[in-house]
Amino acid sequence: MSSSTAISEPPLSPIISAGWTSAGTARFCFAQELSDASLKKQIAEFPICENLLRMKQQFAEIQLGSEYFFQALDFLNWTEPDICKESPEENKRFQLLLSGLLLMRKAVISGSTCLPWNVIQTEIKTILQNSGFSTNDLSPQDWQKWLLTSFGTETDSDSAPAENSIFTVNNSLLYFSKNWHSESRLLSLLRKRIKMKLDVPESSLVEKVLETVLVENPVRFGGKDLKLAAEQKEAVLSAISSPFLIITGGPGTGKTSVAVTLLRVLKRLGLAERPALAAPTGRAAKRMSEAVLNSLGSLENLKQLTLDQELLGIAAEAKTLHRLLGYRPHTHSFKHHELEPLEHDLLIIDEGSMIDQELMTSLLRGANSELPHQSPVPRIILLGDAHQLPSVGNGAVLLELTADLCAKQHENVLENPVAVIRLVRSYRQEIGDSSGRNILGVAETVKGMEDDPRPELLFEVKSPNHEIIQKRKSLKEVGQEKVLFLEQANTQDQLKDFARWWVEKFLRDEKFRLETQDEFPADAPETCAAKLDYLFNHLKQFRVLTATQVLSTGAVAVNQKIRQCWLAENGAKALFSKHYPGEPVMVTENNYRLRLFNGDQGIFLKFLNPDTGNVELKAVFPVDGELKTFYEYELHHLQPAYAMTVHKSQGSEYDHLALILPALSLDHGKDGTQSPRLRELMNREMLYTALTRAKKSVLILGEQEVLESAALHKVSRYSGLGAALASKSALS
């Protein structure tokens, strides 16, 4: 269970974007969110409290946000219509209930599934004190009783809360009942998965197959035959005997090498007749596919290796988890579940840190068959780095399942029952690759801030050179190597200067410019695959990453500045409607009809229309392993892809990248109010994730205080999953 004494304010409230603006909408959405149909009938008039404005100001001061306040206040008056706020005691009770609801709502939006009682108590005490209430006469028993009497029930691990309860308490953790049900469902599926029995071949046969794969017909990396280290070989052997295995490690620790070896070994053992490769996003799935294909393609006698040739087709069909499970957008459900399980006997899933609680539940449902006759039991191999950013949805599943649960010192907690192999040694960079070693060294320094929270280590000259960030005074001093830091406030003028420099360094490529101005034939992309591959590969070499999508330092603003610089050089005449030839774009919402998904990247190019002879602008996107073209009018929710958020970059890899830090100053909204500090948008996981996307150079632009704050601030997500899974009751 992740722990912290503070709850981070989400950068952008999903409530606002979802349109929770009116009292009626708030009532409906709260009821819908909590899956409590009976409460929908209890709609009361919205009363105005005498101290409403004072309470709003107090909640704003502790950064709960006015939008949360009004919605929760409305919800409370709806569920507690008879509460008398004129009485001091009832006023205190009302504010305590409001505080509990707000804190829980805020925690869930921030990605937690629950909150510990002690955190709730500390936060509520602060709120009441700020509201002028004395807490001397308020015992923990009082506020627990008040909170649960009105809204919830207390339960143990094996019993369900009351049907209409909003809150549930379990193992000193407070849940929205909906989240408790969801976590309990996942816990049950994990317990069942761990207890599954597999058919395990004789060890002598396994060793013989390993000899065939690693010695007689090895794949090659960097011109050398692949040789597995002891920890990597352990991962392969564990996969043979484990129904659910997690392989975790940082960049370059050989997770892909292990995955390729696993595929080849299990295929020869007859345990991978119908394997599947998948990842949470299309980008991550494509990267996984390319890595496996490149490895298999390095086999010298591939034409004679029938089993490896079959794996080429499997690798080419790597897909998203949603596609693997058969997502049905209209019902928000999946085709595959316990009664219609996946037909695969091996699932290798990459980028496990991006899998949220809901998606992991769906994956296990699709793999945990309840049919009377299904054989064999499909093995699940989960690859990932628990130190990267957690999933967008609720939970921190990979972190919870790989945590050292014994360190929690809980009387009911035993060792982690999930099979976990940790890969430690990095093989990505050769000794002579000083830039690559520097990037990995800085990433390790950032990761180590949890144990040694000294931000000066990032720049300490006494540290080994490959473990520190090197400072530069201006863009003129910036080279394309190592991790460099340019301290600046990231004002509008400074970002314009950066945009011009970025265009000069990476986009002003003569071959790229000429290729994007070509007029492609109508039968493209089939006849122009090599040229299109060049364009995509060129754009893959560099990227700008940001902390947010919006605000002055967000991806939208940075994209606009780079775009303006490009157009200033090429002229407005190059424009075709809103886009222009050579413009990289990214899809920001799923389009199931076109098979384009959030994060997919393409490029606009000129195509000849054979019927009219006119030149038309089309976007080229990789779709299901093929390049396809789309007219501009077919595409919605597009944005330029020069810059993207760090979240969007997960599962990708670039030679060079720049990281734009948010400004230290507070942005002001249209109403004159101030948003929470932008430094809270940056955290250790985001910084680590950004660094590990690059192979040759990283340029960080921003104020040193923001950078250091990011390295010290850890994402705080609360969950009871890991401890519950490792408890005595789970193993009984």
Q: Which two tokens stand for residue 479?
A: 């080279």
Contact present, 454 and 708 (Cβ < 8 Å): no
Question: How buried is residue 624: exposed, middle or buried, by Cβ count under 10 Å (0-12/13-18/19+)?
Answer: exposed
325 phi-psi bin (left φ>0, alpha ψ -120 to 50, beta other): alpha
- Give me the residues paired with residue 698 across strands: 483, 657
Q: Which two tokens stand for residue 144?
A: 């627990």
- Which range is least confidently modeled, 38-52, 109-123, 643-657? 38-52
Contact present, 375 and 93 (Cβ < 8 Å): no
Cα(536)–Cα(456) distance, rounded to whole angstroms?
Answer: 39
Q: Which two tokens stand for residue 464?
A: 């080994």
Element (H, E) at 687: helix 684-691
pLDDT tens column, 285-297: 888 988 899 899 9
Using the predicted structure, report yes or no on whether residue 284 has a pLDDT greater than 60. yes
Contact present, 472 and 686 (Cβ < 8 Å): no
Give the chain's mean pLDDT: 80
DSSP category for residue 666 = P
pLDDT at 669: 41
Torsion of CA 290, 250, 248, 596, to 10 degrees: -40
Using the predicted structure, report yes or no on whether residue 49 has a pLDDT greater than 70. no
Contact present, 355 and 218 (Cβ < 8 Å): no
- Which range is least confidently modeled, 123-127, 151-155, 483-487, 644-648? 151-155
* Confidence class for position 413, pLDDT limits 50, 70, 90: low
Q: Which two tokens stand for residue 244?
A: 């659910």
pLDDT tens column, 221-256: 777 888 888 899 999 999 999 999 999 998 888 898
Number of H helices, E strands in the chain: 26, 26
- Give me the residues paired with residue 486 across strands: 472, 701
Cα(266)–Cα(142) distance, rounded to whole angstroms?
Answer: 58
Q: Which two tokens stand for residue 398?
A: 């990979």
Sheet of strand 470-472: strand arrangement: 470-472, 482-487, 694-702, 654-660, 542-546, 643-645
Q: What angle do CA 232, 236, 240 make, to 5 degrees?
A: 160
- CB atoms near residue 207 (< 10 Å): 11
Contact present, 249 and 423 (Cβ < 8 Å): yes
* Confidence class for position 151, pLDDT limits 50, 70, 90: low
By residue count, the chain amounts to: 732
pLDDT at 5: 32
Using the predicted structure, report yes or no on whether residue 300 has a pLDDT greater than 50. yes
Cα(396)–Cα(721) distance, rounded to whole angstroms?
Answer: 9
pLDDT at 58: 58
Q: Which of 96, 82, 90, 85 is nearest to 131 (CA)?
A: 96
Bigger pLDDT: 639 vs 599: 639
pLDDT at 560: 93
Question: How buried is residue 362: exposed, middle or buried, by Cβ count under 10 Å (0-12/13-18/19+)?
Answer: buried
Torsion of CA 245, 251, 256, 259, to 10 degrees: -10
- CB atoms near residue 324 (< 10 Å): 25
Q: In this structure, which amino acid lies at residue 536? A: F
* Confidence class for position 60, pLDDT limits 50, 70, 90: low
Question: How buried is residue 89: exposed, middle or buried, by Cβ count under 10 Å (0-12/13-18/19+)?
Answer: exposed
pLDDT tens column, 98-123: 888 888 888 888 889 999 988 888 88
Cα(553)–Cα(668) distance, rounded to whole angstroms?
Answer: 14
- Specify the 3-state DSSP secondary structure of 229: coil
Q: Which two tokens stand for residue 569?
A: 């050089």
pLDDT at 507: 86
Summarize the confidence of residues 428-438 as an average pLDDT: 73
pLDDT at 70: 66
pLDDT at 10: 31
Bigger pLDDT: 68 vs 40: 68
Contact present, 322 and 333 (Cβ < 8 Å): no
Q: Which of 722, 10, 725 is nearest to 386 (CA)?
A: 722
Q: Which of 275, 273, 289, 381 is nearest to 624 (CA)?
A: 289
Summarize the confidence of residues 382-395 as an average pLDDT: 90
Q: Which two tokens stand for residue 85?
A: 């706020």
Rg (CA), the chain: 27
Helices 230-241 and 203-211, axial angle in degrees (round to 10): 130
pLDDT at 86: 61
Cα(41)–Cα(31) distance, rounded to whole angstroms?
Answer: 10
